[in-house]
């Protein structure tokens, strides 16, 4: 300890590793000021925000560099990104769930190329959900899901590639325009799998506490192009359209379920997140990454609410899809 203190009292350790110190000092503001990162025609800000939680991995890398250079200045500078990351995500590290709740909701992108839709239907029926939203329903698999879920869910509605199965009566169902263009939905599917173009719906669920407006949406896909940045025009337009629909919604209690193909850090969803809050952030534990199912790196499947209180949120086990199902329990 005496040797370490004598070493730190000398000027050399504070002069070493200026590059690592500078990178640490830049990393913290980059995370905290992510909303101000310009797009530069490449959707750069949106790309950073999609993977923002993973920027914390740069801290141990910079720490290794500081130790390698024996740089006291770089080690101290790391307090800046550590503080920034904890400010943004420290609250997600604790379990905020609590017992109780009136309604369990589940959302799952079942995957148009799911090799076992019947097995997926059985798993979802056993989840205990009162409301079950499915996205990316192919025409070929729709009948399989309808048969597999009919016993558990006497009420259901499907619009295009999205549907809602419910233990409670449904009414006033209508499609929601999420601004998709005509043609394939930007996703690589087997030639024999066909998808319809509508990817959004709104319906009213009759509960003992009054009407609950439920939206189910599957926004456009996002592609990362090394030369063109983040290609997200369809998704961003769909998010804005969804935001307008939510702003016009007169029902007090609202739940949005779906594959939004983006994280809630992404500025593209400002019109949605300004009106609804994430059940995972309010009542979950951890980040709840849902895609890809083999090694999840982002939560792009969302449960967002307004006028109800999330009491718990979690992930369900993997099915034949490349997404994990997301679940939440809400209270009046």
68-80 pLDDT, tens digit per residue, is 989 999 999 999 9
State the Cα–Cα distance between residues 238 and 180, nearest whole angstrom. Answer: 7
CB 62 within 8 A of CB 24: yes
CB 201 within 8 A of CB 134: no
CA angle centred on 308, ends 122 and 220, rounded to 5°: 60
What mean pLDDT, rounded, does the chain reach?
A: 91
* Residue boundaries of the structural domains of the chain: 2-93, 103-331
Note the pTM of the prediction, 2 decimals: 0.89
Task: Note the pLDDT of residue 188.
Answer: 41
The matching CATH number, chosen from 1.10.357.10, 3.40.50.150, 3.60.10.10, 3.40.50.300, for 103-331 is 3.60.10.10
State the Cα–Cα distance between residues 49 and 54, nearest whole angstrom. Answer: 10
Backbone angles phi, psi at 244, to 5 degrees: -65, -40
Task: Note the pLDDT of residue 221.
Answer: 87
CB 235 within 8 A of CB 261: yes
Instruction: Please name the residue ranges forming H helices in the chain.
Output: 2-9, 12-15, 18-32, 44-50, 58-69, 72-77, 79-89, 117-125, 139-149, 233-248, 270-273, 279-283
215-267 pLDDT, tens digit per residue, is 999 999 887 666 656 688 889 999 999 999 999 999 999 999 999 999 999 99
Name the nearest CA neighbour of 106 among 252, 313, 271, 245.
313
165-217 pLDDT, tens digit per residue, is 999 999 999 999 986 543 333 344 444 444 557 899 999 999 999 999 999 99
State the Cα–Cα distance between residues 58 and 43, nearest whole angstrom. Answer: 22
- What string of H, E and C letters represents the secondary structure of 132-191? EEEECCCHHHHHHHHHHHCCCCCEEEEECCEEEEECCCEEEEEECCCCCCCCCCCCCCCC
Task: Note the pLDDT of residue 237.
Answer: 93
């Amino acid at each position: 300890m005496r040797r370490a203190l004598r070493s730190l009292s000398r000027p050399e350790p504070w002069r070493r590793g200026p590059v690592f110190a500078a990178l640490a000092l830049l990393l913290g503001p980059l995370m905290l000021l992510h909303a101000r990162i310009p797009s530069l025609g490449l959707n750069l800000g949106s790309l950073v925000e999609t993977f923002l939680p993973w920027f914390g991995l740069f801290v141990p890398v910079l720490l290794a560099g500081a130790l390698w250079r024996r740089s006291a200045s770089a080690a101290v500078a790391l307090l800046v990104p550590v503080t920034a990351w904890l400010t943004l995500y420290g609250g997600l590290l604790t379990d905020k769930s609590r017992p109780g709740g009136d309604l369990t909701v589940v959302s799952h992108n079942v995957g148009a190329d799911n090799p076992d839709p019947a097995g997926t239907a059985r798993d979802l029926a056993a989840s205990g959900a009162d409301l079950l939203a499915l996205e990316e329903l192919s025409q070929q698999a729709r009948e399989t899901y309808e048969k597999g879920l009919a016993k558990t869910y006497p009420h259901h509605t499907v619009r295009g590639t999205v549907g809602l199965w419910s233990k409670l009566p449904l009414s006033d169902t209508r499609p929601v325009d999420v601004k998709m263009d005509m043609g394939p939905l930007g996703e690589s599917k087997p030639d024999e799998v066909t998808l319809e173009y509508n990817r959004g719906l709104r319906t009213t669920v009759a509960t003992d506490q009054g009407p609950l407006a439920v939206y189910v949406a599957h926004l456009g896909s996002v592609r990362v192009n090394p030369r063109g940045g983040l290609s997200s025009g369809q998704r961003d337009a769909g998010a804005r359209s969804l935001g307008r629909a939510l702003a016009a919604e007169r029902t007090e209690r609202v739940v949005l379920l779906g594959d939004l193909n983006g994280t809630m850090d992404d500025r593209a969803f400002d019109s949605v997140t300004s009106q609804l809050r994430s059940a995972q952030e309010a009542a979950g534990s951890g980040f709840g990454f849902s895609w890809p199912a083999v090694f999840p790196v982002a939560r792009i499947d969302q449960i967002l609410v307004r006028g109800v209180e999330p009491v718990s949120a979690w992930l369900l086990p993997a099915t034949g899809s490349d997404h994990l199902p997301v679940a939440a329990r809400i209270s009046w």
